Structure 1
Amino acid sequence: MSSPETGLSLVADIGGTNTRVALARGPLVDGASVKRFRNAEHDGIASVIAAYMEGCGVSDTEITGVCVAAAGPVRDGVAQLTNLDWRVDREILAGALTAGKSAVLNDLQAQGHAIGHIASTNLQRILPQPAHSPHAAKLVIGLGTGFNACPVFDTEAGRFVPPSEAGHVSLPATVPGLSEILPEIADSHGFPSVEEVLSGRGVGTLHAALHGVHAEAAEVLAAMEARDAAALETGRLFVRVMGAVAGDLALGHLPFAGIYFVGGVARAFAPWLDELGFAEAFRSKGRFSTFMEQFGVQVVTDDYAALTGCASHLSRL
């Protein structure tokens, strides 16, 4: 396996509302160089990169590579963002910079490439991680504006993080209390996908389905802190769906090296996972319930992990 390159690169993480851009040396992101841009003020990633380069104090010719993480499906190096009318591909990146290397990743793929480069202080343990082989699979699960998941494989040829769109599979109707409200949480096409619950907007959708009152995720979480009974009921069902879906994904990928939750919603619910029954829902797999104890679970609290993943991936190209 070749050693990572140490040239100067530009990395970016495009979310639904903001884009973060930074400089990196090899797989290490310069935290002081991180800047945030409002997507509404730009017409695409090229405009964001131009704005960043104007004030970063580095010339175009010093940048040897550029990698962008996009919140949307990526196919053959082309990303169409799910919650933003932007298209990102290598040609756009080549037009924005003269860097010799370029890459476009799904945002969860970028998080997968970051695993192993995140400080232990930015990892919150939810379930203990048993011993495992060096090449055991990992699994990254993202809960934020949307939902997605991707496995992480460390092979002799390098790290492989295949993309997916796991947020658009069906919700597990076996979770107690969920099947009765599935018609009320279906999307505009009548399909109750995982993302309709396990996302920022999903918290409010679930609360409305249970109690007939719309509330934003932040409002539900604040009410949970105040021990409001209705909000706690919403939170409990959310956490149990989170556990059940994570358990299903674990059985599909066998991540013996651990499961890593990322994203703002995952971080917000992390303090509630123990109280509201995450472990029970995660391991409730019939005769495979004991088998589920082989999968550790952590929450990544590093908000810049996707940038780190972009830098790590680019340094190996």
Structure 2
Amino acid sequence: MSNHPANTLTLVADIGGTNTRVALADGVTLLPETIRKYSNAKFPGLETVLRQYIEDEGGVDCKGACVAVAGPVRDGVGTMTNLDWTIDRDTLRRATQAEHLSILNDLQAQGHALGFIDEADITTVISAPEASPHAVRLVIGVGTGFNAAPVFQTEKGRFVAPSESGHANLPIRNEQELALCKFVETAHGFPAVEDVLSGRGLERVYLFLGTQAGDPHEKSAAEIMASVENGSDPQATEAARLFVKILGTVVGNLSLVQLPFGGVYLAGGVARHMAPYLERFNFVDAFRDKGRFAGFMKNFSVSVIEDDYAALTGCASHLHNLYT
């Protein structure tokens, strides 16, 4: 017998490149005790992950299911960028038997979470004047990949527009950044934002700096950040500094495109690990370095979302708003 009431709760999932997080929600409220994490490498596809979760939760009968996909979603079909899975409504229906179904891009889910995240889990990096409740907000994900999604609060509810911003060209401001673009291009054929502003991107920046110095060697992103913390490797510190500078430039560019007077919110594991160093490595200067629009950039606040389960909350909020 199930541990949960039938046809009452919704199943929500955040599908990353490495792991899938699954939980149950009651309306817009995530049930923390139901959160489980599964290694994608152990499963052939999402359907088997969700079936395993439902079994682990005692055969729960869900009234709805919403999943967030780390990749583009078109016409209700999600394609993973860093995983060979395709997710559609039939897959969700077979796995969950739920009546109400939805598939979101993972940044869309983060956008739907705004307003439902505990204030203690939001760290302010740049303050700005208070804005209207209907002002546009912008969520930017920096983790395994990079992406952004504007959040619009309309009279008919919240609309979070999808994008694939991480696959736009890297900006170039100086000779070092041009050399970095050429370094990335040689290895990957195209210098995209995600090739630098991601976990793997930080590793590429580190290798690039070593190559320039005539001592090319690799470190994982975790090792680089540990070296920054303990000060044991000047190259790691320089890699983080260059990463933060380019991040500031890109976040500033996206802010000028979307005009998020309601604030910019950085999400994702890399963003959280970089948060303590944004001030030290002059994120603010890079963010506002827009010539005669430098003063205008003071209209935009920037914060970091520290809640690792925000996408799950966003899925719950989205499904609740759709069907109530």
Indicate the TM-score class for this superposition, using the shorter chain for normalisation. Answer: over 0.9
What one-letter code is carried by the residue in structure 1 that aligns with 2:270?
V
> 1:75-86 maps to which residues of 2 (within 5 A)?
75-86=74-85
How far did residue 59 of structure 1 move? 3.1
How far 1:119 sits from its partner (Å)? 0.3
Q: Distance in 2 between matches of 1:181 and 1:296?
A: 29
TM-score (norm 2): 0.93
Partner of 1:127: 126
Letter in 2 for 1:218: A
Q: 2:222 aligns with which of 218, 223, 240?
A: 218
Q: What residue number does 2:206 align with? A: 207
**Equivalences for 1:255-270 in 2 at 5 Å?**
255-270=260-275
- Which residue of the partner structure matches residue 230 of structure 1? 235
1:51 matched to 2:52: yes
> For residue 34 of structure 1, what is the aligned residue in structure 2?
35
Report the count of equivalent residues.
310
Task: Please give the alpha-carbon distance, in whole angstroms, between the structure 2 residues aligned to 1:54 and 1:189.
Answer: 41
Deviations 1:17-47 (A, max 9, x none): 1111100011111011001111111111110
When structure 1 is superposed on structure 2, of 112-121 and 125-134 the one drifting more is 125-134
Match of residue 4 from structure 2: none
Q: What does residue 213 of structure 2 align with?
A: none
Contact 1:13 1:20 in 2 (8 A): yes
Amino acid at match of 1:266: A
2:285 to 280, 283, 297: 280
SS in 2 for 1:186: helix
- Deviation, 1:174, is 1.0
Give the residue type in structure 2 aligned to 1:195: E
Aligned positions of 1:138-149 closer than 5 A: 138-149=137-148
Identity %: 52
Deviation at 1:134, TM superposition (A): 1.5
Q: What is the distance in 2 between the residues matched to 1:172 and 1:50?
A: 43
How high is the TM-score relative to the length of structure 1?
Answer: 0.95
- Which of 282, 307, 310 is equivalent to 2:312? 307
Shift of 1:181: 2.4
**Residues 77, 248 of structure 1: alpha-carbon distance in 2 compared, 3 angstrom cutoff:** same
Counterpart contact for 1:260–1:298, Cα < 8 Å: yes
> How many angstroms does 1:188 deviate by?
4.8
Name the amino acid aligned to 1:124.
T
- Structure 2 residue ranges without an equivalent (≥5): 1-6, 211-215
Counterpart Cα distance in 2 of 1:136 and 1:54 = 42
CA distance in 1, matches of 2:186, 2:163: 20
Contact 1:129/1:257 (<8 A) preserved: no
* C-alpha distance 175-139 of structure 1, shift in aligned 2 (>3 A): farther
Residue type of the partner of 1:68? V
Equivalent position of 1:91 in the other structure? 90
- Which position in structure 1 is the counterpart of 2:13? 12
Aligned to 2:23: 22
CA RMSD of aligned residues (A): 1.3
Q: Deviations over 1:135-190 (max 9, x none)?
A: 10000000000000010000000000011000000111015631122111227552
Query: In structure 1, what is the Cα distance between the partners aligned to 2:238 and 2:105?
Result: 33
Match of 2:3 in 1: none
| Secondary structure of residue in 1 paired with 2:274 | helix
Q: Who is 1:3 aligned against?
A: none
Aligned to 1:169: 168
Measure how far apart 1:219 and its partner are: 1.3
Extract unaligned runs of 5+ from structure 1.
1-5
Q: Does the residue aligned with 2:194 lie in a helix, a strand or coil? A: helix
Distance 1:153 1:105 in 2: 16
Local SS of the residue matching 1:280: helix
CA distance in 2, matches of 1:234, 1:29: 37
User: Deviation digits for residues 107-129 of structure 1, max 9, x if unmatched?
Assistant: 11100100110000100110013
- Distance in 1 between the 2:175 and 2:89 partners? 46
Answer yes or no: is 1:67 the counterpart of 2:66: yes
Indicate the residue corresponding to 1:113 in structure 2: 112
Aligned pair in 2 of structure 1 residues 258, 168: CA closer, same or farther (>3 Å)? same
Q: Quick one: distance in 2 between partners of 1:58 and 1:151?
A: 37
Q: Are positions 1:151 and 2:150 aligned together?
A: yes
> Runs of at least 4 residues of structure 1 off by over 2 A?
57-60, 186-189
Q: Which residue of 2 aligns with 1:182?
A: 181
